[in-house]
Chain A
Amino acid sequence: MVKFNRFTLANGLRVIVHEDSTTPMAVLNILYDVGARDENPEQTGFAHLFEHLMFGGSVNIPNYDGPLQRVGGENNAFTSNDITNYYITLPSANLETAFWLESDRMLNLAFSEKSLEVQRNVVIEEFKQRYLNQPYGDVWLKLRPMVYKSHPYQWATIGKTIKHIEDAKIEDVKAFFKKHYNPQNAIMVVGGDVKTEDIKAMAQKWFGQIPPGEKYVRSLPHEQPQHEERRETMTAKVPLNDVYIAFQMEGRLDDSYYAVELMSDILSRGHSSRLYRSLIKEKQLFSEVHAYITGSLDKGMFVLEGKPLDGISTDQAEEALWQEVERLKQEEIPADELTKVKNKTESTMVFSEMSLLDKAMNLAFYELMGDADDFNKESARYLAVTAAQIKQQANLIFRKDNSSTLIYLAERVNEPVHIISE
């Protein structure tokens, strides 16, 4: 049970306070309700590039990181298809420094050309490091456009191409800030060794005078239900073949989410899971195999993925994956197996309460979804799932005409490696 207090400033900033006196630290987490899904299709990767620019100095504070490190603090941020999340941890005695820094960059950025120039390069290197110069790194760049034909989930947070990042202009950066980075589009969580009354005063002092800005009203293209089987094959210089089958599923806020997540656990969580046991250990078809969901707020993806062993064709591999999901469609999950994944989910929730930062991030995300208190009701929602509901979801999701299959073939070239010593 994570207890918290909640209030809203006159400018619309939502604030949640979680008091935890077992730590000498404090966390300040700010979630901005903007992600890669809010980008212009011709300017993808922008939300993430913008996240980098948030560290390039604000209107009154030329350097963001230095003053925070000086008071013993650390920070980072991430961008997803749905949200952009910034967080600071620091000794609680120095919490006001976090308020000073975060409020100034919500007030206004410095918008320096030099910062834009450098961060464009940094993000291009990130693009190469994570997506292009890694074996299988480009899978998501290929798979997303197969599953999504109209929704902006069709591109990854890094963007469709390096070109979109190269082309970013300072005017675009300013317009993006104005549209998304204001109190009405943000949720702040302060946690740790803090008192709610102090946080109210500090929030009013540092954030109270920031103009509310305009409320961003999201209106994204709806992804139509899929009614045809989709398939692509690609070849790359990787050592092993890889098979991906992605299915559309409902979004995070749909009631079916809990049954579907437990279904992915049945398939792939831990060494007692079905895919691991059947396809790796018993039938010996794969060296690794996984099932997972993206958990996105709009229509999500349920993904099956596996690397078949040498001598096993991708057809055989695909067939084996389908056999496992067919079982879920035909037979209800035995009571013990369902209890097992529920127990695991329950203990995971208890373990997550050991981390202050996890608690703060979760409270912010659940508040975005509607109510921070739903975080405390999660376990009950998983426990309420029935075997019949899982079977029903299996039949809705695992249809050939709801599948996008990507076969990633290894190009069998022995690349010569030169080792030169001087």
Chain B
Amino acid sequence: MNILDRKTPPQFNGVENINLIHPQSSKLDNGCNLFTFNSGGQELVRIEWIFANLRFDPKKPLLNVAVNTMLNDGTSTLTAAQIADKIDFYGAFLQVDYGYDNSQVTLYTLTKHLQSTLPVIKEILTDSIFPEKELETYIRNQQQKLQVSLQKNDVVARRTFNKAIFGPTIYGSAAEPDDFKSLKREDLQAHYKEMYQAGNCTIIIAGKAGQEVINAVTETFSGTWGKETVAADTLQPALNPVADRFIYVEKAEALQSAIRIGMPFINRTHPDFPALQVLNTVLGGYFGSRLMANIREDKGYTYGIGSGLTSFKQAGSFFIASEVGADVCRAAVAEIEKEVNLLKTELIPDEELSLVRNFMLGSLLGSLENVLSHADKFKNLYFADLDYDYYERYTQTVKHITAEELQALANKYFNFDDFYKVIVGKY
């Protein structure tokens, strides 16, 4: 019998082609855009109704999120309890989600129950009434939950960081418990009326979505629902970062300190974005990254550390985040600085760069698990006003960018002294 060679890795193949499913698109008679991804073996669909958030008002910072969260709290014909009963009875899932740019309602349902579940969504989107009693419950419960969140150092670090780099905007402003008291039913109703109208809505269907599904959605959501004479005002005011670069929130009894370091940054629409994703991956974007290898796997200062890029419609950020032992917080920050500076002074070795290229392509391929993930990729493009060329550019950049180009980008974009540094705990 041959002795098996266990020292040499097996032959492997690079990822050559990544095929993204493109949607079938149409427009309803009321201006609502509809995109459909039809694929998959299971008899189910996910349908999303996505609305751009309204212009942020610092005096009423919670309106976008409160209106979204309370969408399933009652219409003129259905109570909150009846909405929940109908959805749950058919084994469906109804979710409301608030994001910085958009708010959405998502329905997961077996296709056989679509005729029973769709009308409930129609009710919610066209006839929500925000009952006073439900609003009181919402305020009370959210205040309590926020109190618990504010005891978590990583949560406080994220809020403090965003406030510093984005200022009092929709991206930087986080609610305090008292802000909930200012919520008024009339404000919610007015906000709802302006925002949840067909002209501000994008519908995305993914799953086993044949013509009957498209027809059912089209019939249910065509017509004059929510047609307002005033278009939704979804422009956001400019960012306004603070001057201080170092913010320390001391917690005398902390066992660990939360660290968040970074700055306002370019977003997905900028030509350098794919290349900076490569640079970010090297630094802190995967388990084998330099930050993990040094600060977790060599020093043992933390359970986890990473870095990332966020991309919003009118903003973006670069950040490094971790929770480290309180006694090693300064040492950890020093190591982070060292790793950022190394990207500027030394070329990334070929072996490391080729590993990162393969990892990123494999990761992109692996992120396309099913038809729902193809729809998610489309959303990244659509809401950034990009087209599918973006992913072509992305894969070409990942495959071909050189170590010299990455070093030049590090020098262009990274200046540790300029980074905002937030520490919550002990320093």
Interface residues of A (CB under 8 A from B): 22-25, 59-61, 65-67, 69-75, 89-91, 93-94, 96-97, 99-100, 103-104, 107, 117-126, 128-130, 132-136, 205-206, 209, 237-240, 269-272, 277, 280-281, 284, 287-288, 307, 309-310, 336, 339-340, 343-348, 350-351, 353-356, 415, 417-422
Contact = CB atoms under 8 A, between A and B. Distances in A.
A103 B134 CA distance: 57
B250 A69 contact: no
A125 B256 contact: yes
B84 interface: yes
B388 interface: no
Interface centre among A133, A205, A237, A346 (most CB of B within 10 A): A133
B249 A417 contact: yes
Interface stretch (B41-49, B182-190, B218-226, B312-320): B41-49
A291 B14 CA distance: 47
Contacts of B43: 350
Contacts of A343: 88-91
Contact of A239 (B42, B151, B299, B369): B151
A129 B244 CA distance: 28
Contacts of A119: 300
B55 interface: no
Contacts of A353: 41-42
Interface string B341-364: 000000000000011101101110
A350 B44 contact: yes
B287 to A, nearest CB: 6
Nearest to A136: B148
A94 B90 CA distance: 41
Contacts of A66: 288, 355
Contact of A126 (B4, B88, B141, B303): B303
B366 A74 contact: yes
Contacts, number: 244
A133 B13 contact: no
A69 B249 contact: no
Contact of A135 (B140, B152, B302): B152
Contacts of A237: 151, 253
| Size band of the interface chain B makes with A | 35 or more
Interface string B84-124: 11011111110000000000000011100000000000000
Report the 8 A-B pairs with minimum CB-CB distance, sorted nearest first: A72-B362, A121-B300, A347-B91, A343-B91, A271-B84, A272-B84, A287-B144, A239-B147
Interface centre among A97, A125, A281, A417 (most CB of B within 10 A): A125
A238 B296 contact: no
A271 B137 CA distance: 14
A280 B141 contact: yes
Contact of B12 (A61, A94, A136): A94
Interface string B153-175: 10000000000000000000000
B362 A277 contact: no
Contacts of A340: 85, 88-89
Nearest to A104: B6
B81 A277 contact: yes
B372 A118 contact: no
B107 to A, nearest CB: 12
**Prevailing SS type, chain B contact patch:** mixed
Nearest to A310: B144
B13 A93 contact: yes
Interface in B17-43: 40-43
A206 B4 contact: yes
11 contacts: A22-B370, A96-B12, A100-B9, A121-B300, A134-B151, A237-B253, A238-B148, A271-B88, A347-B108, A354-B370, A421-B246
B125 interface: no
B283 to A, nearest CB: 15
Given A70-B12, A287-B140, A128 B354 contact: no
A113 B152 CA distance: 34
Given A60-B7, A128-B325, A356 B369 contact: yes
A69 B288 contact: yes
B245 to A, nearest CB: 8
A94 B4 contact: no
A75 B288 CA distance: 11
Contacts of A60: 6-7
Given A25-B366, A415-B251, 19 more contacts: A61-B6, A65-B288, A66-B355, A70-B358, A100-B6, A123-B303, A125-B301, A128-B256, A133-B254, A271-B72, A277-B81, A347-B110, A354-B42, A354-B372, A356-B369, A418-B249, A421-B244, A421-B247, A421-B248
Contacts of B355: 66, 69-70
B323 interface: yes
A338 to B, nearest CB: 11
Contacts of B9: 67, 70-71, 97, 100
B408 interface: no
A124 B83 CA distance: 46
B286 interface: yes
B10 interface: yes
Contact of A339 (B12, B89, B141): B89
Contacts of A347: 44, 91-93, 108-110
A22 B373 CA distance: 13
A280 B370 CA distance: 37
B412 interface: no
Nearest to B40: A354
B358 A417 contact: no
Nearest to A347: B91
A132 B256 CA distance: 9
B12 A420 contact: no
Given A133-B323, A287-B141, A309-B144, A272 B369 contact: no
B137 A133 contact: no
A309 B137 CA distance: 10
B231 interface: no
Interface string B247-265: 1111111111000000000
Contact of A125 (B83, B300, B369): B300
B302 A90 contact: no
Contacts of A339: 89
B270 interface: no
A236 to B, nearest CB: 10
A15 B93 CA distance: 35
A219 B87 CA distance: 46
B15 interface: yes
Nearest to B254: A133
Given A96-B10, A270-B84, A419 B249 contact: yes
A45 B41 CA distance: 42
A93 B12 CA distance: 7
Contacts of B141: 280, 287-288
Given A89-B366, A121-B301, A351-B108, A418 B323 contact: no
